[in-house]
Amino acid sequence: MDSDSTGTGRRHAALSPSRVKELRQCPLKFRLRNIDRIGEPPSKEALRGTLVHAVLERLFDLPAAQRTQERAQAMLAEQWEALKESEKQETDIFGSKSEFDAWFASARPLVSAYFRLEYPENLEPVGRERFVSAVLPSGLAVRGIVDRLDQAPSGALRVVDYKTGRSPHPRYQGDYIFQMRFYAMALALSGVGTAKRTQLLFLKNAQTLTFDPAPEHVAMTIRELDDAWAEIERRIESGSFRPRESRLCDWCSLQRLCPAKGGTEPAMSEEGVAYLKTAVRPVSQRAVS
């Protein structure tokens, strides 16, 4: 469960789009990750995403005229060195130099794809890797990270999020649309402003998914988050976080703890439950985000 600060120096949990997605996909996976906080082996795919995100974030540190594809490609090596310094254990996951070389090369077409989707020399973001947190009227704390926030001369905001995977089939866009609605809601509730447009840039196949939120989407998203939290509370009370089998199970690193896959489910962490419940703020703190 994501953590955030209250402004008083204390830490508390918060609900995010990815946590809601986990709950919907598999309640047991949600529990193991967010209540029991089970460690998982580092993923080469996740590490590649971190590397590409770092390049696209730092690209906007450069003067506009220097934001070229050639410079971005050179930044891959620079940002890899920075990652090795900041996340040494996570980056030490390659069995051989050839394995690393193939992995590193796989990041290059993702960076190239970005330049088929946008002209960064024409953009001046007002926010990058920006934490956006808010407290719903129910007291539930929510939090997300916006990859990039743009502002038009009119003051209109655009949220841009980078995805290193492939764009989903229309029937599977629901979770992505929810994520964009979440960002729009969090920006509105936190007082940052109203997002007129949200976009996901899928770098694997150079596609853009655009969603223009309407005012009613704020209330809709608040209801969905409150419903998700009510489900979490019911499951904690009953002790039931049953696994939900799907094709995603093949890529799950927690199968050893999943009864559906012959694993042994651990006892639920009482400490983890106590921390998770800090996502609902006391009445006296609900104005603080």
pLDDT of residue 289: 41
Range from 4-18, 139-153, 207-221 carrying the lowest mean pLDDT: 4-18
Q: Per the structure block, which two tokens stand in for 175?
A: 């979770």
Which tens digit of pLDDT belongs to each residue from 27-86? Answer: 999 999 999 999 888 899 999 999 999 999 999 999 999 999 999 999 999 999 999 888
Q: What is the pLDDT of residues 194-208, one digit of tens each?
A: 999 999 999 999 999
**Average pLDDT of the residues in 185-202:** 95
Task: Provide the H-helix boundaries in 59-129.
Answer: 69-86, 88-91, 97-105, 108-117
Residues 6+ apart with CB under 8 A from 284: none
How would you class 227 by CB atoms within 10 Å of its CB: exposed for 0-12, middle for 13-18, buried for 19 or more?
exposed
**23-27, 77-81, 88-92, 151-155: least confidently modelled range:** 88-92
Q: Are strands 11-14 and 127-135 parallel, antiparallel or unpaired?
A: unpaired
Q: The whole model's pTM is what?
A: 0.89
Is 70 exceeded by the pLDDT of residue 1? Answer: no
CA–CA separation, 79 and 147 (whole Å)? 16
Residue 214, exposed/middle/buried by CB under 10 A (0-12, 13-18, 19+)? exposed
Task: Name the residue with tokens 């590193």.
Answer: 104
